[in-house]
Structure formats: C-alpha cells, structure tokens
Amino acid sequence: MSPWERRKRGGRYYTRSRKVNGRVVREYVGGGALGELVALMDAEERQRREEEAAAWREEREHLEELAGLVDELCEAVETVARATLLAAGFRQHKRGEWRRRRD
Amino acid sequence: MTEEPTSKSKLTVRRYEDRPVGCPPGSDPVAMTKEEREAHRDTVERLKELVEKAGKGDKKPLPEIRKILKESPDLAWQLLDVGRVAEWRYTEMMLKEEDFGKKEVLRCQLAAMREVIAGDNPSPLERLLADRIVLSWLQIQLFEDLYASSLSKSMTIAQANYYQKRIDHAHRHHLSAIRTLAQIRKLGPAVQINIAEKQINTMGEGIPGS
C-alpha cells in the first residue's frame, strides 16, 4: 500500500502504517512540503536499515562459514577419538565413562 | 620443529612439535587436492556411521573401524589441516589486517597452549584433541569479542541471540574436547593407535574379539 493517500479535493497526504498488537494502525503525517520532507526522512531511514540488514546477513554468512570449519573439525576429531576407543576394546557406559569391554 | 627421532628413540620423550600430527616435516598439508579432501571427508563420514552403530552395542562394525584406522595413517594430520586453516582464518578475523605483530603473538600463544595441553610425549590422538581444545577456545574468544564490541553499538535482538547461541555452542565444543582428552588420558596407553606416523600400535593386544 502506498504511503501517499490521495484526497478528494486534490493533493496528497503522507501516512505511515505500523502494526500495534497485530493490527495495522495508520498514522497521518501531513501533506505538501511537510509530507515530502517526512517521506524523504523515512526513505533514508528505511535505506539505512536495509543496508544494515544486508551487512549483518553478509557478516553472519561469513561467521557461519568460519564456525562451520571448527564444527566440522570438532565432529571429526570426536569421531576419530570414539573410533580409537572402540577399536582399542572400550565401550561407553551410559553415554559417560568408557570401560573396557569384557566379552 | 624438532629433530626426527631415530628408531631407537621412539619411546623417549619427544618435544611437542607444532605441526600437524603425522605430517612429515617439510610437507604441505594445504596442498591436498580436492579429490583427496573428498576422500578424507568420506572416510570420516563412514567412520562416524560405524561409530554410531558400535555405540549402540553392535560389535559388527568394530573390524571395519580398526581397518579404517589402520589404513588411514594420515587421517589425523588431514584433520589438523582443517584446524590450521580455521585457526589462520580466525586470527585474521580477530585482528586487523596490518596487525602483524599481534597476529604473531596470538599464533605463538596458541602454539604454547597446544604444547601445554598436549603435555610431554603426547600421543597423536592427544595432540589432535589438544588442537581441538585450542581451536574451540579461539572460537569462544572470537564470538565473545564480537558480542562485546557489538554491545557498544546498536545491536539488534537477532544479533545478540546469534552471538549468544554461537558462544554457547563454542563452550560446548570446548568442554567436550576437554572431557574427551581427560577420558583418553585416564584410560592410558591402551588407547594408542596407529592414526599417525611413528605411533606405537598396541591395538588388538589383549582385546577380546580382535
């Protein structure tokens, strides 16, 4: 929905819409130069937020990739350690202590 | 780097070497081909499947686990290759590009930590676990640092949640690595296995069913 509302007697009126308790509430800001100015400020604010969100998405992707490297290593080392223990004749007792297999 | 021990001195105390376990001196682990990396990943995946089965009390996978460990003596140092790449990237991320001095200090600190944690005459598995402990510690530092520096800026709830989640995750990895190393040490030399070069292989000696 456009933030500009067209009036019957002509001219445009700038509005803002936001959600309050799940319902859309429309705030009437103004027309003419004031409406144009507030619309410009809102557009700039929106652009700033979009840029910040994009930067965070990029940073998060980079961090996830970095964390993935360590996750992969930790999982592989754990696998090798467990394999070593199993191969050496041990078994894990109730997901805790490792004990020598008796059979 | 230390001198390579002679065959006679295999059992003597060796100084901790700050190089990947099983990686011969002078070799470049990063030079692994894509196919080799894939093969390595497949081996670890297969090992994981077998370990999960054996963990449920199934004894059938044990011979294959032993076979994989025996036939993949370079498994450990390939893992360490991943670790070193991660460590390098973490230090690059944590410090500014031109902070060569600080980067060097951090790398020396990490090497010293590895040495202390691995202890005297560590087995390849102990060294591998020591590396994991250091790397997970580094991960905690990175995310705590990012979280702390974001506190002074306007941090969104999503960002704060993400950092907290990552810090918790890294703590779990770190504690798990410490616990595994403690278990391996508690069980002693019975857990020596040929996962790297020059390792005394006692696997199968006195083990039921081997």
pLDDT score for B204: 39
Give B134→chain A minimum CA distance, Å.
11
pLDDT tens digits along A54-83: 999 999 999 999 898 888 888 888 898 888
pLDDT score for B178: 94
Please count the CA atoms within 13 angstroms of the CA of A28 that sit on its side-chain side: 7
pLDDT score for B20: 45
Complex prediction ipTM: 0.73
For residues A73 and B135, is the Cβ–Cβ distance under 8 A? yes
Please count the CA atoms within 13 angstroms of the CA of B98 that sit on its side-chain side: 0
pLDDT tens digits along B95-144: 877 778 888 899 899 999 999 998 888 887 888 899 999 999 999 999 99
Separation CA B168–CA A82 (nearest Å): 23
Separation CA B143–CA B137 (nearest Å): 10
For residues A83 and B47, is the Cβ–Cβ distance under 8 A? yes
CA B122 to each of CA A83, B12, B114, B115, B138: distance values in angstroms, whole numbers, following the listed order:
18, 11, 11, 9, 21
How confident is residue B190, by pLDDT bands cut at 50, 70 and 90? low
Among candidate residues A83, A94, A93, the one with its CA nearest the CA of residue B63: A83
Separation CA B67–CA B58 (nearest Å): 17
pLDDT score for B95: 84
Q: Which amino acid is at A63?
A: L
Contact B66 A92 (CB under 8 A): no
Give the residue-averaged pLDDT of B181-198. 67
How confident is residue A93, by pLDDT bands cut at 50, 70 and 90? confident
pLDDT score for A9: 81
For residues B2 and B14, is the Cβ–Cβ distance under 8 A? yes
For residues B7 and B28, is the Cβ–Cβ distance under 8 A? no
For residues A66 and A45, is the Cβ–Cβ distance under 8 A? no
Separation CA A96–CA B210 (nearest Å): 24
**B193, pLDDT greater than 60:** no
Per-position b or e across A53-83, b if 16+ CB within 10 A of its CB: eeeeeeeeeebeebbebbbbbbebbbbbbbb
| % of chain A at pLDDT higher than 70 | 98
| % of chain A at pLDDT higher than 90 | 43
Of the ranges A10-19, B7-16, B196-205, the best mean pLDDT one: A10-19
Residue B134 touches chain A, beta carbons under 8 Å:
no
Which carries the bigger pLDDT value, residue B190 or residue A22?
A22
pLDDT score for B168: 96
pLDDT tens digits along B122-131: 887 888 899 9
pLDDT score for B141: 93
Closest residue on chain B to A99 (Cα): B187
Which residues of chain A does B170 touch, with a Cβ-Cβ cutoff of 8 Å? 67, 70
pLDDT score for B195: 52
Contact A74 B132 (CB under 8 A): yes
**A37, pLDDT greater than 90:** yes
pLDDT score for B113: 93
pLDDT score for B31: 59
**B27, pLDDT greater than 50:** no
Separation CA B117–CA B98 (nearest Å): 30
CA A85 to each of CA B56, B70, B161, B173: distance values in angstroms, whole numbers, following the listed order:
14, 14, 37, 19
Q: What is the dihedral of CA A35, A41, A45, A47, to 10 degrees?
A: 90
Query: Between B54, B129, B169, which is nearest A86 by CB?
Result: B54
Dihedral sign for Cα atoms in the order B114, B116, B122, B123: negative
Which residues of chain B does A88 touch, with a Cβ-Cβ cutoff of 8 Å? 187, 190-193, 202-203, 207
